[in-house]
Amino acid sequence: MRLFGREHDNEEAVRQDDAVAAFWAWWQESRPRVEALVAAGDKEGLAELLAPAVGAVHPGLVWEVAPGRSAVNALVVTAAGDAELRPLAHRWAGAAPAADLMWEFHPSRRPDPQPAGLSLDVGGFTFGLDKLVLGLRVPRGSDRVDVSAYHPIFSELDEETRTEATLLALDRILGEDEVARWVGEITPATAAPIDAVAAAYLPAVVADVASGAGEDQWLLLEGQTGDGAPLVAAARHPLRPVDHPLLDQHVMITLPYAHHDADGLPAGASEEALRAFDERLGALLAPRDDALLAAHLSAQGHRVVHVYADSRSDAAARVGELAARWKEGKAVVDVEADPAWAAVSAFMS
């Protein structure tokens, strides 16, 4: 098993876990001060206290204190759409103390129950969500909603600020994870779309799209390699990292097969052997939630299997042991960190 970058990955995992543990030790000591600042409405003091503590976990994480669902307050520490940091945010939340009457903890922004009443400060302007309108389109064959967003202040803002404002608004309206699941292209506009509707309609449109998405399934695909050789693939659909936030490790299995047709695709005994391997792999992964078979493709006498695993588990080792029993040639297993699932981006929905 070739473990590319594994030593560095293990060191980073230990650093992250230590940083998370240090945060929660700090929280236990600092919670009374946090609560006093929240009660006093002292936003600057709260930022001075919380920002360094969250930044010590990772400087790319974003925090906020919001009204809780069951508790009085919610502390949210989020990757803010950065897929590379999503596993860390979820590990932070997973290590949190149990929620109580005062505090609950979340790794992503939750939808606001009354977003139309919210006003945000964006670039020195008041960004009232009641004046945000959206153009909504669902491309044929897609289970995502493309969004064109317009607000009267957008003409006063630069493109980057418009984009940040739009993303923050969508998180407030729909919830950060639901945006990642169901929203496709996001385009901030300086003129209202012709078919614009109030932003409050977005959750209903997304719910309608989600209801028609159906159960998980496998898609069969055909194509060509970079050399022009025929290729066949199967990919899980939908395939979304947000649904499996702790699976941050890419395990790629390469299996040479002995029997193939003139195009290099598996045939005869090799086709049966690969099918049996898929079944054994599925049985190995199914009882636990620490790994997922994402896709596999065959071309030029080789099957490449993509598995995503929790780097804190032994899933990669279990997969490696299974691959070592392959009998039609030497199996190669490469393991590396890939929290954004870049290796299977071509298959992601």
- Report the predicted TM-score, pTM, of the whole model to 2 decimal places: 0.90
pLDDT tens, position by position, 34-69: 999 999 999 999 999 999 999 999 999 999 999 999
Burial of 222 (0-12, 13-18, 19+ CB in 10 A): exposed
Length of the chain: 349
Q: Tell me the mean pLDDT per 10 residues along the chain, length 349.
A: 56 93 98 97 96 97 94 96 95 97 97 85 84 93 92 91 92 94 94 91 93 84 92 93 96 97 96 96 91 96 97 95 96 96 90
Give the integer Cα–Cα distance in Å for 339 and 245. 8
pLDDT tens, position by position, 209-240: 988 877 788 999 999 998 999 999 999 998 99
Locate the domains of the chain by residue range: 16-106, 115-211, 217-347
Give the integer Cα–Cα distance in Å for 80 and 58. 12
Q: Quote the pLDDT of residue 6.
A: 56
**CATH code for the domain defined by 217-347:** 3.30.70
∠ Cα 179 201 64 (to 5°): 45
| HSE-CB of 272 using CA atoms within 13 angstroms | 2
Q: 330 to each of 21, 151, 257, how far by Cα in Å?
A: 41, 59, 10
